[in-house]
Chain A
Amino acid sequence: MTYRISKDDGILTVHVSGHLDINSSPELDQAIEPELEGTTVLIVDLANVDYVSSMGLRLLLSWQKRMFKQGSMRVVNVSDEVKELFDQTGFSEILDISQ
């Protein structure tokens, strides 16, 4: 997994590539956590994510919970495979998703 972060005037964008799973999620969590301070819009770009495990879902949920309180979160460029997972798990009804 690799990631790239950009922040501009309260808008934090996270571009993630690869697997979002038990190996990669803790690292990404640690990297994003301090950046969430003062963030009002979080955009999670999953364009190059081909697999999300339950740990990846947990991470997305933790960000969504935080952003419920301080702004909004959008998950963008979701592949068909990941969208199917979001549909199966009910995450499509929690997250603001666009493909």
Chain B
Amino acid sequence: MKFKYVRIQGRDIASSTMHPAGIFGMCVRLIQHGVMDEEDAALYREIDSWFVESLPFPEPCLKKEKVICFFKTENADLMLRMLNPAMWLLDKYHVPFYMVYTNTPGEIVYEDEYQIVVKVDEDIPVIEYRHEWTGSGGSI
């Protein structure tokens, strides 16, 4: 089966969307938390700047709306090749990630030649773990 869209995402939830963080967010998080060393951070920024220069910046992302992005698989070849070093960086720092393919990404609120932006479901309740859940008599 051929899929129209692909997204690289991790396990951790992004607080802004309550959905798994995308590859750029995961790398930025490693830098912000001081996990990624200076040389690797410089490499990541070089990769990121290619995307900034080469792709339109979707307005919903600019406005920090609750959205996530997918690449269009038909035009994603060069982009995925340019992301290979970023995936290597995630692997180097033991950050698990997945390639998520879909034909039903959700409500598309932005689209260009290379990518789509999809509104995330704002009604999904995500509650941080509390110790009492696993204690005696605890309940959600």
Contact = CB atoms under 8 A, between A and B. Distances in A.
Interface stretch (B59-67, B77-85, B107-115, B117-125): B77-85
A89 B88 contact: yes
The interface centre, meaning the residue of B37, B39, B40 with most chain A CB atoms within 10 A of its CB, is: B39
Interface in B30-66: 37-40, 42-43, 45-47, 49-50, 53
B40 A54 contact: yes
Contacts of B47: 61
Interface in A37-81: 53-55, 57-58, 61-62, 65
B87 interface: yes
A22 interface: yes
A24 to B, nearest CB: 12
Interface string A69-99: 0000000000000000000111101100000
Contact of A89 (B39, B46, B49, B85): B85
Contact of A90 (B42, B53, B88): B88
Summarize A's interface: helix, strand, loop or mixed.
helix
Contacts of A89: 84-85, 88
A65 B42 CA distance: 15
Contacts of B82: 94
Contacts of B87: 90
Contact of B42 (A54, A88, A94): A54
Contacts of B43: 54-55, 57-58, 61
A22 B38 contact: yes
Contacts of B88: 88-90
Given A88-B88, A89-B88, A90-B87, A58 B81 contact: no
B84 A55 contact: no
Closest 3 CB pairs of A and B: A90-B84, A54-B39, A58-B43
Given A22-B38, A58-B45, A93-B81, 4 more contacts: A54-B42, A88-B88, A90-B81, A90-B84
